[in-house]
A = this chain, B = another copy of it.
Amino acid sequence: MSTQQALQNILQSKYPIVQAGMVWCSGWKLAAASCNAGIFGVIGAGSMYPEILDEHLEKMSKNVSTPFAVNLPLLYPSIHEHIDLILRHKVPVVITSAGSPKKFTKQLQESGIKVIHVVSSVLHAQKAASAGVDAIVAEGVEAGGHNGRDEISTFVLTPSVRDAVQIPVIAAGGIRNGRGIAAALALGADGVQIGSRFVLSEESSAHAAFKNELLRSKEGDTILTLKELAPVRLLKNKFFQDILDAYAQGADKEALAQLLGKGRAKRGMFEGDLIEGELEIGQVAAYMDTILPVEQIVQSLINEFSATKEKITNLPSWT
């Protein structure tokens, strides 16, 4: 079986496009709209208490009849309660990140759940494949939110991961349109994961103030920072200026952790505090200027992908 077919068997969506599970931005509404538009919807559980995840899974099952996933950062404190909920709700797919894929993969698979693991390097892709995951998301450094320490770009990472593992590879990071989908498939990916473009959807739970700030954002406005804690790509704002000031004063890891504190991501992305909040977003934010319904975004992705496929097909032969 080809890796493309294997991915199709996992996702069972019309298109091999995964809507990224993102903290504070992807609740059941976005995931359901994604599934209903023919792509693969994902609930981002990294920002949900167990009772909130329970509620979102309830709503999801009432509104969607196709497979979907929960994105689960493995470092999450209530991870066992989350796993229990996932098993109880018979969630078809779990996308794990930020932790060892050895921990829960077997347990989830024994309950009939497919496991996809997010990596940012070939080394971690190989480890995930060894741990028996069903597919890999290979995410480049241009992606929003938490990122790998080696800062490998999507263009470099995708073909290298493709060559290193035998399981399906989903490319992520920097993909915002149909040209990007065609490029990712050319690089060897079996599918793509798209995040920031869906933050700027009507159905995302990102605060309106955050969405509008993204529309205004310009080239160079995102940056990878806090590398001493966990590298994160965010929009430069007053909070980021505070980080710079802390660095200038020689802040160590503890001082940075104290500055970051708790709840900044919620404050920024969910509550719309553009000053003190942490505004996680991908590098593509600079080049997007519309907030659209998911269905319209998906249609545009598909149309541009098809046009690009046509263009590549019609290129003169080089041999």
Nearest-CB distance from A35 to chain B (Å)? Answer: 17
- Known contacts A149-B220, A156-B174; is-contact A188 B182 (Cβ 8 Å): no
Q: Which residues does chain B contribute within 8 Å of A179, judged by CB atoms?
A: 159, 186-188
How far apart sit A283 and B151, CA to CA, in the bound complex (Å)?
9
- Known contacts A155-B140, A318-B15; is-contact A312 B123 (Cβ 8 Å): no
Interface residues on A, range: 35 or more
Give me the 4 closest cross-chain CB pairs, A-B, nearest first. Answer: A150-B220, A155-B174, A183-B183, A182-B186
| Oligomeric state, in copies | 2
Q: Which residues does chain B contribute within 8 Å of A176, judged by CB atoms?
A: 159
Please report A residues at the B interface, Cβ cutoff 8 Å.
15, 121-123, 140-142, 149-156, 159-160, 163, 173-177, 179-180, 182-188, 219-220, 223-224, 250, 283-284, 286-287, 302-303, 305-306, 308-309, 311-313, 315, 317-319
Q: Which residues does chain B contribute within 8 Å of A184, judged by CB atoms?
A: 183
Q: Which residues does chain B contribute within 8 Å of A15, judged by CB atoms?
A: 318
Q: Is the CB of A159 within 8 A of B180?
A: yes
Q: Which residues does chain B contribute within 8 Å of A308, judged by CB atoms?
A: 186
- Known contacts A153-B140, A154-B153; is-contact A160 B313 (Cβ 8 Å): no
Q: Which residues does chain B contribute within 8 Å of A315, judged by CB atoms?
A: 185, 309
A303's partner among B180, B311, B319 (CB-CB below 8 A) is B319
How far apart sit A141 and B223, CA to CA, in the bound complex (Å)?
13
- Known contacts A177-B159, A183-B186, A283-B156; is-contact A306 B317 (Cβ 8 Å): yes
Q: Which residues does chain B contribute within 8 Å of A160, judged by CB atoms?
A: 219, 286-287
Most buried by B among A153, A302, A312: A153
A219's partner among B152, B173, B186 (CB-CB below 8 A) is B152
